[in-house]
Amino acid sequence: MEDEARRLDADDPLPTLRGEFLVPPAPGGAYGEAAYFAGNSLGLQPRGVADRLREELDDWARLAVEGHTQARRPWVDYHELLRDPAARLVGALPHEVVAMNTLTVNLHLMMASFYRPEGRRTRIVIEDSAFPSDSYAVASQAVHHGLDPAETVVRLTPRPGEDTLRTEDVLARLEREGDTVALLLLGGVNYLTGQLMDMAAITKAGRAAGAAVGWDLAHAAGNVPLRLHDWDVDFAAWCTYKYLNSGPGAVAGCFVHERHVRDASVPRLAGWWGTEPSVRFRMEPGISPPASADAWQLSNPPIMALAPVLVSLEIFDRVGMGALRAKSERLTGYLASRLASLGGAQVITPADPAARGAQLSLRVADADAGGLVRRLAERHGVVADARKPDVVRFAPVPLYCTFHDCHRAAEALSDLVGGPA
């Protein structure tokens, strides 16, 4: 089986870019490099990041304040360097995207604009297994508007005995109760199960029901192809430290559809970087927002934090999401086939490759997920992550994971959980 994995690596149409990333050593040192499957939590560091940061630090040292206009990449409009590659990544027009803030901050800024409860249309719909930050954010938005979160926030649950949502159930719920929904905010790829939602169909149904439709793309950006403009999404936000490999707490991204960026009546919270660059330094009290997602910016861009994001986006531009998605399906399919007969564990991620991203989540019977993850690392050099009480997540990220990594993960699970792999 190991020989087969090595053959698959040698013959793959997209050779691994592992050499462009810093792969940590396996815990204990017995296995060389780790087989790293935690890129859905924190991506590996691209080798080019250190040099890029040194360039920015050097410009700061040489130029001080003049770096805003004279640096190799002038700081005053640095965020514009990320605009085109970010737009290509998420299927948007360039003026619909902006790199700024962090994910939950951006979600709050978007909800300040697009969650407008009125009359009976007050509810916010999320998935029951939404990431906790999303749950906290929507509940606090309800409170901000004087509403009771227990009545305002609707949590979509799978059918009894199932782990993932069915698209037809989401659409039926919107058809029945859509006139009460002010905002639909779901994860494009669910952080727990790895389910890839049918974003096109759900967006269409949500907008037909009269709701604003937003997507949390924390686990989708850099993982699956996206077409936010064509799907007519109202807004979306994503972090860049997972599949986009931009470092812990990296600057996030945001999408606002062009029909909104051209509408000056859309309410928004404002800061000085959200005004037209041509008048920004007049220091006048009145704001003149541009007809772009830049109008939602608050503060000047953090250069040292944006530099790693730019390096990452350059890699994605060079390789392309189509090639990465195809390899992702090959890697995840191989790992799924190796885990199919594993005793004591059940893959809860959808079996259909079209309904999942680069993640397989296993529910491990009668096991502490955290303890199992520690043993995987300490005994086998396999790095995954746990979601208590009993889910272990593996993300074979196509930029740097290999078929041999997947082989190591399957063998390690077979040793620790039982059954052939």
Q: Does any domain span residue 102?
A: yes
Mean pLDDT of 367-386: 92
pLDDT of the residue at 240 = 98
Q: Does any domain span residue 206?
A: yes
278 with 357, same domain: the answer is no
225 with 92, same domain: the answer is yes
The residue from 317, 347, 379 where one domain ends is 317
Q: How far is CA 218 from CA 102, 139, 256, 333, 334, in A?
A: 11, 19, 16, 22, 24
pLDDT, tens only, 207-252: 999 999 999 999 999 999 999 999 999 999 999 999 999 999 999 9
Q: Does any domain span residue 56?
A: no
Instruction: Please tell me the distance from the alpha carbon of residue 317 to that of residue 216, in angstroms, as a whole number.
Output: 22
**Phi and psi, residue 150, nearest 5°:** -60, -30
pLDDT, tens only, 124-148: 999 999 999 999 999 999 999 999 9
The residue from 317, 344, 378 where one domain ends is 317
83 with 167, same domain: the answer is yes
pLDDT of the residue at 104 = 98
**Average pLDDT over the chain, rounded to an integer:** 96
How many independent structural domains does the chain possess? 2
pLDDT of the residue at 30 = 65
Q: How many CA atoms lie within 13 A of 35 on its CB side?
A: 27
Is residue 50 a contact partner of residue 362, using CB atoms and an 8 Å limit? Answer: no
What stretch of H or E contains 206?
helix 199-208
145 is in an annotated binding site: no
330 with 302, same domain: the answer is no
312 is in an annotated binding site: no
pLDDT of the residue at 420 = 62
Q: Does any domain span residue 58?
A: no
- pTM reported for the whole predicted model: 0.96
79 is in an annotated binding site: no
Higher pLDDT, 214 or 30: 214
134 is in an annotated binding site: yes
Is the four-CA dihedral 36, 87, 14, 327 of positive or negative sign? positive
The residue from 257, 286, 317 where one domain ends is 317
pLDDT reading at 363 higher than 90: yes
Instruction: Please tell me the distance from the alpha carbon of residue 73 to that of residue 62, in angstroms, as a whole number.
Output: 14
263 is in an annotated binding site: no
364 with 256, same domain: the answer is no
Instruction: Please tell me the distance from the alpha carbon of residue 272 to that of residue 366, in angstroms, as a whole number.
Output: 54
Nearest of 310, 241, 336, 318 to residue 17 by alpha carbon: 318
281 with 413, same domain: the answer is no
pLDDT reading at 419 higher than 90: no
**Phi and psi, residue 154, nearest 5°:** -105, 125
Can you give the CATH number for the domain in which 255 is found? 3.40.640.10
Q: Does any domain span residue 59?
A: no
pLDDT, tens only, 32-62: 899 999 999 999 999 999 999 999 999 999 9
pLDDT reading at 345 higher than 90: no
281 with 188, same domain: the answer is yes
Buried b vs exposed e over 275-289: b needs ≥16 C-beta within 10 Å?
Answer: beeeebeeeeeeeeb
112 with 201, same domain: the answer is yes
144 is in an annotated binding site: no
298 with 372, same domain: the answer is no
Q: Please state the three-class secondary structure of 228-282 as a single string.
A: HHHHCCCEEEECCCCCCCCCCCCCCEEEECHHHHCCCCCCCCCCHHHCCHHHHCC
pLDDT of the residue at 29 = 60
Q: Does any domain span residue 347?
A: yes
75 is in an annotated binding site: no
**Phi and psi, residue 215, nearest 5°:** -130, 135
pLDDT reading at 418 higher than 80: no
pLDDT of the residue at 341 = 81
Q: Residues with Cβ < 8 Å from 214, sequence gap 6 or more?
A: 107, 110, 111, 114, 183, 184, 185, 233, 234, 235, 236, 237
367 with 251, same domain: the answer is no
Confidence band of 177 (pLDDT split at 50, 70, 90): very high
Q: Does any domain span residue 339?
A: yes
Q: Does any domain span residue 235?
A: yes
3-state helix, strand, coil in the chain (%, to 5): 45, 15, 40
The CA radius of gyration of the chain, in Å to the nearest whole number, is: 22
pLDDT, tens only, 255-302: 999 999 999 899 999 999 999 999 998 999 999 999 999 999 999 999
Range of the domain at 209: 73-317
pLDDT reading at 344 higher than 90: no
78 with 184, same domain: the answer is yes
105 with 33, same domain: the answer is no
Looking at residue 406, its amino acid is C
Can you give the CATH number for the domain in which 27 is found? 3.90.1150.10
pLDDT, tens only, 295-323: 999 999 999 999 999 999 999 999 999 99
